[in-house]
Amino acid sequence: MCGIVGYIGPKTATPLLIEGLKRLEYRGYDSAGIATMNGAGLESRKAKGKISMLEAVVEGSPVHGTVGIAHTRWATHGAPNECNAHPHHDCTGTIAVVHNGIIENYGALRQMLIQQGHKFESETDTEVLAHLIEAAMDDDPLEDAVIDALHLVEGTYGIAVISSRDPDKIVAARKGSPLLLGLGENEFYVASDVAAILEHTRQVVYLDDGEMGVLTRSGYEVLDLSARRVRKGVSRIDWDLDQIEKGGFDHFMLKEIFEQPQTIQNTMRGRLVVDEGFSKLGGLNLTRQQMLDLDRIIITACGTSWHSGIIGELYIEELARIPVEVEYASEFRYRNPIVTKNTLCVVISQSGETADTLAAMREAKRRGARTLGLVNVVGSTMAREDDGGIYLHAGPEIGVASTKAFTSQVIALALLTLKLARLREMSVVKGRQIAQAMLELPDQIQSILDRASEIEAIAEQFKNATNFLYLGRGYNFPVALEGALKLKEISYIHAEGYPAAEMKHGPIALIDENMPVVFIAPHDSVFDKIVSNIQEVKARGGKVIAITSQKEPVLEKLIDYEIRIPQTEDMLYPILSVIPLQLLAYYVAVKRGLNVDQPRNLAKSVTVE
Ligand code: M6R
């Protein structure tokens, strides 16, 4: 998500920091900032937009010194503007902090600090860190104050801190957000990503969670949060820059597929109340009574986001018993839809900028509906204009084919459903059962990813196919649509997703020995039904690739290739079953020699009608 770089040594810090930030721009950005120690005190500059904007600001109004920290932001709390850009400062202007991650208890900490007389300038969670360090700062070294502050914080962080009260030092600390120290010739770096410092050193020390790096002009040390020294090994980086930006993966799409154990955790973090089978959704902006009064929900979106919307419809109708309609945004905006004051219009969008979805949201608003955005990009137009929102926190998605945004959208819809359903008739026992199963999903996704080579082998068999059918039922019908879309987008193979039982009303005519048919057939409540559909395909010579969740003797003679996923609650299968389909599409496209991250004719964000 965001990026951090810091420098201490004999050289002027600014050009090194700006260059480091540019190397991190691929991770996404909406603003950037820099702070240096100029001998007399701290100087900082910030700018909204690309790093080149910050560069222009610094050119016009330079900051000086040989110690500094810098940050490129991809907003999570607070709009993407200059004020919310990092570094953040304490009241005295003697401390500067850059931060990646999310401080979950920042609301309570901010209140506490305001009561103690601290003045806040931004809307960010990060600013509490600067004030906490200020409150803890006495004549002891900076690292002691940082340790005291971090003991009060819940959530994730990778931070770098400088202070004019302990000027020849950078303190960096990590919990749940990557951070490393770079070791140069009489100079030291800190960075969230090795790309930022690769030009200057290949010797790095990776910090682990609960560790802190203290960089001075003469060396570095690593401490734990009890100020005890930790012995760390030095690693050598052999990758080139392109490999590093993609995290060692060949493509952003593959990197993003493999990020999903982490990204769905980020979507759930701080929101799932397992014991209560409930969710806390701070941005919903709906009173309990407004939620109880809802008589209709319209979900509107495009593409992959529309597919997650169909899963949302199934969730909400099944568990919260509120009627839901899912509409293509491009159709909704030109219809004459029935919208009442008790209608909630849920818009789903990775980018928050898709023209059709934005227009549909505005139309629903104009007709009196309340709007709720499930959006990934913080501060995007939809996120600014909706009445309430649930950010996905999936991090920047760069591959044009959406992957991690989809699973985060489904998680966000599950969280919304828990909230609405528990306010109505769903029991705590049922809610708890779903919440517990949700907690297991990251490890379950990882176990599928660990067997990616099996899916690659299947892709090898079908890389020259000209058509594919994807069939699923119930919660897995939208996954069939999503699997087909993924394949079409990046491999240019014609693919159709269908409800499995609908196949006999037409598409069955397509089936012959050249037709691969992907069945999403986990052991859920419609398993027996889908077995019949598999038999129908097999009887006509189709090649069956089945996604299953346990050994099924009944399928043994019917399927040609099996991809096993772990067992979960029926409603959560889409989050697991989509993973092999993303991988299948990816590997087929790679084997056809195609540009996976930028497929022809497609844009990441469709901002035109
Ligand atoms: O940013 P959005 O979620 O609003 O984008 C919607 C669609 O354009 C998007 O999902 C598109 O279908 C993707 N290329 C799918 O992989």
374/308 Cα distance (integer angstroms): 11
- pLDDT tier at 482, thresholds 50, 70, 90: very high
Active site residue 463: no
Which of 11, 232, 365, 604 is flagged as catalytic? 604
CATH number reported for the structural domain that contains residue 14 in this entry = 3.60.20.10
Q: Whose CA is nearest to atom 9 of ligand 1?
A: 303
State percent of the chain over pLDDT 70.
99
Same domain, 258 and 153: no
- pLDDT tier at 417, thresholds 50, 70, 90: very high
Of 191, 219, 238, which closes a domain? 238
Q: Whose CA is nearest to atom 7 of ligand 1?
A: 303
73/2 Cα distance (integer angstroms): 5
Query: Mean pLDDT lowest for which of 220-224, 372-376, 549-553, 559-563?
Result: 549-553
329/607 Cα distance (integer angstroms): 13
Same domain, 183 and 248: no
Which of 2, 46, 48, 175 is flagged as catalytic? 2
The answer, yes or no, to whether any atom of ligand 1 lies below 6 A from the CB of 350, is yes
Rounded distance from Cα 410 to ligand 1 centre (Å): 14
The answer, yes or no, to whether any atom of ligand 1 lies below 6 A from the CB of 380, is no
470/521 Cα distance (integer angstroms): 11
Active site residue 91: no
Taken in order 54, 58, 63, 68, the sign of the CA dihedral is positive
Ordered alpha helix ranges (H), 391-512: 404-423, 428-449, 452-462, 477-491
161/55 Cα distance (integer angstroms): 21
DSSP string, 36-78: EE-SSSEEEEEEESSHHHHHHHHHHS----SEEEEEEE--SSS
Percentages helix, strand, coil for the chain (3-state, rounded to 5) are: 40, 25, 35
**Residue pLDDT, tens place only, 378-412:** 778 899 899 999 999 998 888 999 999 999 999 99
Mean pLDDT of the chain: 93
The structural domain count of the chain equals: 3
Residue 317: the pLDDT is 97
What is the side-by-side order of every strand in the sheet holding 235-236? Answer: 42-48, 31-37, 67-73, 3-8, 188-191, 180-183, 203-206, 235-236
Q: Which residues contact 494 (CB under 8 A, 6 or more apart)?
A: 466, 467, 468, 488
The answer, yes or no, to whether any atom of ligand 1 lies below 6 A from the CB of 409, is no
Same domain, 496 and 433: no
The answer, yes or no, to whether any atom of ligand 1 lies below 6 A from the CB of 349, is yes
The answer, yes or no, to whether any atom of ligand 1 lies below 6 A from the CB of 400, is yes
DSSP string, 206-264: EPPTTEEEEEETTEEEEEETTS-B-----EE----HHHHHTTTSSSHHHHHHHTHHHHH
| Residue 105 burial by Cβ neighbours in a 10 Å radius (0-12, 13-18, 19+) | middle
- pLDDT tier at 427, thresholds 50, 70, 90: very high
Flag whether pLDDT at 431 surpasses 80: yes
The answer, yes or no, to whether any atom of ligand 1 lies below 6 A from the CB of 448, is no
Rounded distance from Cα 405 to ligand 1 centre (Å): 9
Q: Which residue has the tokens 């196949």?
A: 503
Rounded distance from Cα 344 to ligand 1 centre (Å): 22
Give the atom of ligand 1 at the shortest distance from the alpha carbon of 604: 14
Of 238, 255, 271, which closes a domain? 238
Same domain, 211 and 283: no
Going from the C-alpha of 124 to that of each of 84, 128, 241, 281, the distances in angstroms are 6, 8, 31, 18
**Residue pLDDT, tens place only, 505-519:** 998 899 999 999 999
Same domain, 473 and 356: no
Centre a 10 Å sphere on the Cβ of residue 39 and count the other Cβ atoms it contains.
Answer: 12
Same domain, 443 and 459: no
- pLDDT tier at 27, thresholds 50, 70, 90: low
| SS3 of residue 327 by DSSP | strand
Q: Are 48 and 81 in contact (CB under 8 A)?
A: yes
Of 213, 238, 263, which closes a domain? 238
Rounded distance from Cα 602 to ligand 1 centre (Å): 10
Residue 164: the pLDDT is 96
The answer, yes or no, to whether any atom of ligand 1 lies below 6 A from the CB of 397, is no
**Residue pLDDT, tens place only, 152-162:** 999 989 999 99
Same domain, 547 and 585: yes
Flag whether pLDDT at 239 surpasses 80: no
Residue 348: the pLDDT is 98
Strand ranges inside 88-210, DSSP E: 88-89, 95-100, 157-163, 169-175, 180-183, 188-191, 203-206
- pLDDT tier at 101, thresholds 50, 70, 90: confident
Q: Are 310 and 350 in contact (CB under 8 A)?
A: no
151/77 Cα distance (integer angstroms): 21
- pLDDT tier at 130, thresholds 50, 70, 90: very high
The answer, yes or no, to whether any atom of ligand 1 lies below 6 A from the CB of 303, is yes
Q: Are 69 and 31 in contact (CB under 8 A)?
A: no
Rounded distance from Cα 330 to ligand 1 centre (Å): 13
Flag whether pLDDT at 474 surpasses 70: yes
Pairing of the two strands 219-224 and 211-216: antiparallel
Same domain, 65 and 180: yes
Q: Which residues contact 451 (CB under 8 A, 6 or more apart)?
A: none
Rounded distance from Cα 276 to ligand 1 centre (Å): 34
Q: Are 472 and 520 in contact (CB under 8 A)?
A: yes
The answer, yes or no, to whether any atom of ligand 1 lies below 6 A from the CB of 605, is yes
Same domain, 38 and 62: yes
17/78 Cα distance (integer angstroms): 24
What letters, b where the CB count within 10 A reaches 16 and e where it falls short, cover 179-189? bbbbbbeebbb
| DSSP-assigned beta bridge partners for residue 301 | 328
User: Across residues 143-151, what is the average pLDDT?
Assistant: 97
576/479 Cα distance (integer angstroms): 10
Query: What are the φ and ψ backbone dihedral angles of 291, each rounded to 5 degrees?
Result: -70, -40
Domain that holds residue 108: 3-238
Q: Whose CA is nearest to atom 8 of ligand 1?
A: 303
4/486 Cα distance (integer angstroms): 33
- pLDDT tier at 28, thresholds 50, 70, 90: low
DSSP 8-state class, residue 556: T
Same domain, 233 and 117: yes
Of residues 96 and 248, which shows the higher confidence score? 96
**Residue pLDDT, tens place only, 197-211:** 988 999 999 898 899
Flag whether pLDDT at 258 surpasses 70: yes
Same domain, 434 and 464: no
The answer, yes or no, to whether any atom of ligand 1 lies below 6 A from the CB of 355, is no
Rounded distance from Cα 310 to ligand 1 centre (Å): 15
Residue 609: the pLDDT is 58
- pLDDT tier at 263, thresholds 50, 70, 90: very high
Q: Which residues contact 225 (CB under 8 A, 6 or more apart)?
A: 147, 150, 151, 173, 210, 211, 212
CATH number reported for the structural domain that contains residue 490 in this entry = 3.40.50.10490
State percent of the chain over pLDDT 90.
80
Residue 608: the pLDDT is 64
Rounded distance from Cα 315 to ligand 1 centre (Å): 21
Angle at the Cα of 296 from the Cα atoms of 293 and 299, rounded to 5 degrees: 130
Q: Whose CA is nearest to atom 4 of ligand 1?
A: 349
The answer, yes or no, to whether any atom of ligand 1 lies below 6 A from the CB of 302, is yes
- pLDDT tier at 177, thresholds 50, 70, 90: confident
Same domain, 223 and 78: yes
Flag whether pLDDT at 120 surpasses 80: yes
